Chains A and B, each alone.
Chain A
């Protein structure tokens, strides 16, 4: 370790043994434990919680690693969800299904609001391909505009948080105000089929849960790659000493825009999966309050840990459902106390506790595996180089 110029082999490898173990445990929890323990209804609830985990993963990148606190992630979540819902709603609003309306073939809430034809921007959502692309692209474009305007002018920190919060407020008011186009305060409800496949029965919900799990792992993998890449390490440098990175000749704004857009894309995928699993989307998932809750999922899990974010989303939501069923009044107090405690007492969240108390032991157990993985990696990349000794692994 004396030679600074050679990178730590553990840093440059894609996965260390303990990271791999972490992902395997999460996979076991999501794909084996939860489905075998829970009934279909509860499993669907956990699927809903997992769709928030997408947002929390994006927040780890933006906030934990990048130092950009966005209080408007609900907007991106909502955009993804609304894109999905628009497609599903159009599929559910066939002229046969809506024959009692004065204008058959348009979504019911448009008919109630005296619209007589489909607005032009709804039309492309008849296509599933367009919808899938839009789910990711629309929020990314919005994130790019916001990020470009703010980061190139070096706006960051609390100002960015306030402005994204204002954007969340605007989005909510806009959706509620434009009832004829968006379904207003009720949102888009009564979604039935996806390409003819009924999404309402339990079997479909269970299938969607697994699709959601696979997507979550895909997103986790992408986020992991970003963290391990040069861009990921630069983001940490930018968070800690923005000036120095700038003086080293990097365009700081571009990295921030990139990571903000990535967070938006993840949130949007989560939103789309939310709509599919829960069967509706409404402005209550877009505004300031849900956006801040999404930040707290991330904070409870650990703002620096991708896995922590997933557990945080699961845990906080599960606690909310459990407590608010039995003690609705206590729940708000508990939630408030949780906000304060997580900030004051353990700012690195569950992942921080894990790092402090458990990681050491697990790392010791895994040391042989780690060494083996490292030797194989070394052999693969440069056959002539001697395998790193056990000392280097420490």
Chain B
């Protein structure tokens, strides 16, 4: 498959595809971080996660229109405000869903899966009725356009770089929140032993709601970042949900580091393979490898010691 390429061309291909893979990696990480919090920490399967992401994307779309209409001078920075609003919108919706639905189902994880799938159908239809079935794209501010030429053959798009920077910031702050903040400590305590956590005075119900909300909020930010590299449709979230779940499981459900590592592995494999064989076969090969590895090593790459 490497026939007919010189070594410098190969290096350039790997660099370019590797960078394209990094964009995919960013989307995976942002989506998977939210899932890893919800699934890894709470054991809840949220099939509507993709729809929370799309909500963030639509919020970004609305904000961009608003800025273009009323505050064109500030258009360059609308994205930062959109991201915050996306976080709040998705987070609030998440907290509401947790209160109305999820908290009744903690003892039945498989049922949560079906209920959230139903939720995703409803949200998709609402998006379709509100924004139309066609995909919408946002206009990117000027400073994010274009690309940096590293060498003659390798060019790196700026919006991709920006998304990656956002990813790094979000991932770091999630890590800090999880392992340094009071909330993180409470979440981990509730995960380890719900009864004891309640006994020492942690409001487990509130912790759950906050955790779910933050997980969904991060999905919203993911959607916001997603608008920079792709367009948004009502069913776009569905495309990523299976991949993201695989990313989380492959990384070892409760490990944030594992999630990032597996997102990197999967996105890079897929992206580099895509250049040499057809896109669909690259995806099949990647997913098959992941499923195969998971069959041999079900606990994923990085696993915490958990009693099942």
Residues of B near A69 (CB, < 8 A) are 110, 113
Chain B interface residue count, CB cutoff 8 Å, equals 42
Nearest CB of A to B100, in Å: 9
Q: A170-B288, A343-B114, A344-B105 are in contact. Are A162 and B246 (CB under 8 A)?
A: yes
**How far, in whole Å, are A146 and B45 apart by their CA atoms in the complex?**
21
Check A167 for interface membership: any CB of B closer than 8 A: yes
Nearest CB of A to B238, in Å: 8
Check A259 for interface membership: any CB of B closer than 8 A: no
Check A335 for interface membership: any CB of B closer than 8 A: yes
Check B119 for interface membership: any CB of A closer than 8 A: yes
Check B61 for interface membership: any CB of A closer than 8 A: no
Contact check: which of B114, B284, B294, B295 meets A296 at CB < 8 Å? B114
Q: Which of B110, B112, B281 has most chain A Cβ within 10 Å? A: B110
Residues of A near B13 (CB, < 8 A) are none
Check B9 for interface membership: any CB of A closer than 8 A: no
Contact check: which of A154, A165, A296, A339 meets B242 at CB < 8 Å? A165
Nearest CB of B to A242, in Å: 10
- Please determine whether A295 and B114 come into contact, CB atoms closer than 8 angstroms: yes
**A287 nearest CB neighbor, chain B only:** B242
Nearest CB of A to B182, in Å: 29
**How far, in whole Å, are A150 and B242 apart by their CA atoms in the complex?**
18
Residues of B near A162 (CB, < 8 A) are 45, 245-246, 249
Check A149 for interface membership: any CB of B closer than 8 A: yes
Contact check: which of B101, B128, B287 meets A170 at CB < 8 Å? B287
Residues of A near B295 (CB, < 8 A) are 146, 149-150, 153, 163
Residues of B near A338 (CB, < 8 A) are 118
Nearest CB of B to A294, in Å: 12
Contact with B along A155-170 (1 / 0, CB 8 A): 1011101110111011
- Please determine whether A161 and B110 come into contact, CB atoms closer than 8 angstroms: yes
Contact with A along B268-308 (1 / 0, CB 8 A): 00000000001011011001101100111010000000001
Residues of B near A288 (CB, < 8 A) are 242
- Please determine whether B249 and A163 come into contact, CB atoms closer than 8 angstroms: yes
- Please determine whether A149 and B296 come into contact, CB atoms closer than 8 angstroms: yes
Q: A161-B45, A343-B105, A344-B104 are in contact. Are A335 and B121 (CB under 8 A)?
A: yes
Q: A162-B249, A165-B245 are in contact. Are A343 and B115 (CB under 8 A)?
A: yes
**How far, in whole Å, are A296 and B118 apart by their CA atoms in the complex?**
10
Q: Which of A158, A159, A174 has most chain B Cβ within 10 Å? A: A158
**How far, in whole Å, are A113 and B113 apart by their CA atoms in the complex?**
40
- Please determine whether B290 and A166 come into contact, CB atoms closer than 8 angstroms: yes
- Please determine whether A332 and B125 come into contact, CB atoms closer than 8 angstroms: yes
Check A223 for interface membership: any CB of B closer than 8 A: no
- Please determine whether A347 and B298 come into contact, CB atoms closer than 8 angstroms: no
Check B122 for interface membership: any CB of A closer than 8 A: yes
Check A140 for interface membership: any CB of B closer than 8 A: no
Contact with B along A309-341 (1 / 0, CB 8 A): 000000000000000000001001101111110
Contact check: which of B45, B120, B291 meets A167 at CB < 8 Å? B291
Contact check: which of A157, A174, A329 meets B284 at CB < 8 Å? A174
Residues of A near B283 (CB, < 8 A) are 173
- Please determine whether B294 and A163 come into contact, CB atoms closer than 8 angstroms: yes
Contact with B along A60-77 (1 / 0, CB 8 A): 000100000101000000
How big is chain A's contact interface, by range?
35 or more
- Please determine whether B242 and A163 come into contact, CB atoms closer than 8 angstroms: no
Check B129 for interface membership: any CB of A closer than 8 A: yes
- Please determine whether A333 and B114 come into contact, CB atoms closer than 8 angstroms: no
Q: A150-B295, A159-B249 are in contact. Are A333 and B284 (CB under 8 A)?
A: no
Check B14 for interface membership: any CB of A closer than 8 A: no
Check A177 for interface membership: any CB of B closer than 8 A: yes
Nearest CB of A to B297, in Å: 9
Check B232 for interface membership: any CB of A closer than 8 A: no
Check B117 for interface membership: any CB of A closer than 8 A: yes
- Please determine whether A173 and B280 come into contact, CB atoms closer than 8 angstroms: yes
Nearest CB of A to B257, in Å: 19
Check B109 for interface membership: any CB of A closer than 8 A: yes
Residues of B near A53 (CB, < 8 A) are none
Check A226 for interface membership: any CB of B closer than 8 A: no
Nearest CB of B to A349, in Å: 12
**How far, in whole Å, are A347 and B104 apart by their CA atoms in the complex?**
12
Contact check: which of B110, B122, B129, B242 meets A336 at CB < 8 Å? B122
Residues of A near B281 (CB, < 8 A) are 177
- Please determine whether B291 and A339 come into contact, CB atoms closer than 8 angstroms: no
Residues of A near B110 (CB, < 8 A) are 63, 69, 157-158, 161
**How far, in whole Å, are A340 and B120 apart by their CA atoms in the complex?**
10
Contact check: which of A149, A174, A299 meets B114 at CB < 8 Å? A299
Nearest CB of B to A348, in Å: 12
- Please determine whether B246 and A336 come into contact, CB atoms closer than 8 angstroms: no
Contact with B along A287-317 (1 / 0, CB 8 A): 0100010011001000000000000000000
Nearest CB of A to B264, in Å: 18
- Please determine whether B121 and A339 come into contact, CB atoms closer than 8 angstroms: yes
**How far, in whole Å, are A243 and B163 apart by their CA atoms in the complex?**
47
Check B124 for interface membership: any CB of A closer than 8 A: yes
Residues of A near B108 (CB, < 8 A) are 343, 347
**How far, in whole Å, are A333 and B284 apart by their CA atoms in the complex?**
32
Residues of A near B117 (CB, < 8 A) are 292, 339
Nearest CB of B to A92, in Å: 27
Check A110 for interface membership: any CB of B closer than 8 A: no
Chain B contacts with A in 83-98, Cβ cutoff 8 A? none
Residues of B near A336 (CB, < 8 A) are 118-122, 125
Nearest CB of A to B125, in Å: 4
Check B43 for interface membership: any CB of A closer than 8 A: yes
**How far, in whole Å, are A87 and B159 apart by their CA atoms in the complex?**
51
- 10 A-B pairs (CB sep. < 8 Å): A146-B295, A150-B295, A170-B291, A177-B278, A329-B128, A332-B122, A340-B122, A343-B105, A343-B114, A344-B101
13 new A-B contacts, CB < 8 A, other than A163-B291, A166-B245, are: A63-B110, A155-B298, A157-B109, A158-B45, A159-B298, A162-B245, A167-B291, A170-B288, A299-B114, A336-B118, A339-B115, A339-B119, A340-B101
